[in-house]
Amino acid sequence: MTIVSVYRKDKTAVFASDFRSTTKGNQTDVSLKFTDIGNDIGLFFSGDASFWNENIQSIKEITKEVSFLNVWDREGPLYEVINNAYWSQKPRIRTRAIGFMINNQTQDNKMSTIDIHPGLGVRFVPLENNRSLVIGSGAFLTNIEERINKRILRDREEFGDDLYSLSDSMRKEILESLLNHGSSSFRKLGISPYMALHTLAGSHFMIRGEHIQGEVYSDKQNFKYDYSFLRDENSNQIKLIDHINDKQLLVDDVTNIDNSLSGDLFDPQQITSIFDPEVEFQNNDFVYLFHQWVTIHDEARFSNVERETISVFRSLKRISFKQVLNYDFRLSHSSEPISDIKDFPLKYLQNYPDCRDQYFVLTEIKDKQFLKELNQDQLFDHNWLSSYIEDYYRIFFVK
């Protein structure tokens, strides 16, 4: 239960990895999903942490035998030690890693995935160029790799080869996808809302420390956030620090599984507190989200002239709750919203409440008919909407 993502382009790559560790139902955000093997090899882990924990020492012991030529060779020493570990201690679940080896002399690198599948054995699979890969439970996110591909392709026009900015773009796309599946998806999939960024350029690899500040404004709450991911210069310990709430978490290598059993969750931006319809409507298979946002044109605030107007924006989408295969939880899946905006004379301000997000449910029979008839023209058809939405004339349009 984790997420590690990578996007590779030629000799460069950007990574995002979370901090969450899930052990016997207990979740903490203190595990860095990366470890180095000697000076030249790095591995990002997902899957059965105990498998890596019990075999990482054996891997480190053969690093002198591993060369830039044989590192991802099926006949090489690295494959041999991992394959032997598989046959002596088969992992409980599919267990994967993203690995790289750098060559300081040529300023080059080689990358591959390590795929350990119960019943199928061990495979080394080279990473595709100009493509993303997501491993861990984050791979359940709908079309996540394609979403990352499109995001980085788009943002490269703005950021060029700025690897930090591109890795941040990847992280933002992952967070948007997780929130589209509901804020409870972080807990259900075992993924922390803050993720570390890493970059690889030739033979230069960096874990990117960060200090992030900002403020959240919404119709429900306003708050500031101020947090850091850093290595303490005095203790050499890696830390997550929430400066607003004076909270520090010590982060350790994921292969040191004992240290991940104690700790806390890290969510200074309160992302996991956002309203999740799946949690609220647990007895339903779907729900509709109707958003109404009313704005007054600036000049209307200083004039009583009848020609001044208000703008009413409306959008509507269907959110279905689908069971995740082989798991006992559901994730939200949203349809593409239908939206429209119309201007009205200022006197209609009393008719259109600025009610923002409102949810409503339908029976299955009504739902089929609703979907059949729904189109953009219906978004301001009061008679039609009121035939489906209870209290429509109280919430959305006051006569």
Q: Are residues 221 and 97 in the same domain?
A: yes
Residue ending a domain, among 238, 270, 302, is 270
Per-residue confidence at 197, pLDDT binned at 50, 70, 90?
very high
Distance CA 316, CA 339 (A): 6
Is residue 384 within 8 A of residue 377, CB to CB? The reply is no
pLDDT tens string 165-178: 999 999 999 999 99
Question: Which sign, positive or negative, has the C-alpha torsion 275, 283, 190, 122?
Answer: negative
pLDDT tens string 246-304: 999 999 988 776 655 667 999 999 999 999 999 999 999 999 999 999 999 865 455 55
Q: Are residues 169 and 290 in the same domain?
A: no
Residue ending a domain, among 226, 244, 270, is 270
* pLDDT, position 257: 61
pLDDT tens string 306-347: 568 999 999 999 999 999 988 899 999 999 999 999 999 999
Q: Are residues 380 and 301 in the same domain?
A: yes
Q: Which is nearest to 36 in space by CA: 56, 54, 18, 22?
A: 56
Q: Are residues 376 and 312 in the same domain?
A: yes
Q: Please say if the pLDDT value at position 157 is more than 90.
A: yes
Q: Are residues 386 and 244 in the same domain?
A: no
Phi, psi dihedrals of residue 63, rounded to the nearest 5°:
-60, -30
Q: Are residues 244 and 320 in the same domain?
A: no
* pLDDT, position 254: 80
Q: Are residues 289 and 368 in the same domain?
A: yes
User: What is the identity of the amino acid at 287?
Assistant: V
The domain in which residue 140 lies consists of 3-270
Q: Are residues 284 and 360 in the same domain?
A: yes
* pLDDT, position 294: 97
Q: Are residues 282 and 235 in the same domain?
A: no
How many structural domains comprise the chain? 2
Residue ending a domain, among 270, 294, 323, is 270
* pLDDT, position 183: 97
Q: What pTM value is reported for the model?
A: 0.93
Per-residue confidence at 1, pLDDT binned at 50, 70, 90?
confident
Residues 6+ positions from 18 with CB-CB distance below 8 Å: 2, 3, 4, 29, 33, 138, 191, 192, 194, 195, 196
CATH of the domain at 44: 3.60.20.10
Q: Are residues 161 and 290 in the same domain?
A: no
Per-residue confidence at 49, pLDDT binned at 50, 70, 90?
confident
Q: Are residues 153 and 251 in the same domain?
A: yes
Q: Tokens representing 269? A: 């931006």
Q: Are residues 200 and 258 in the same domain?
A: yes
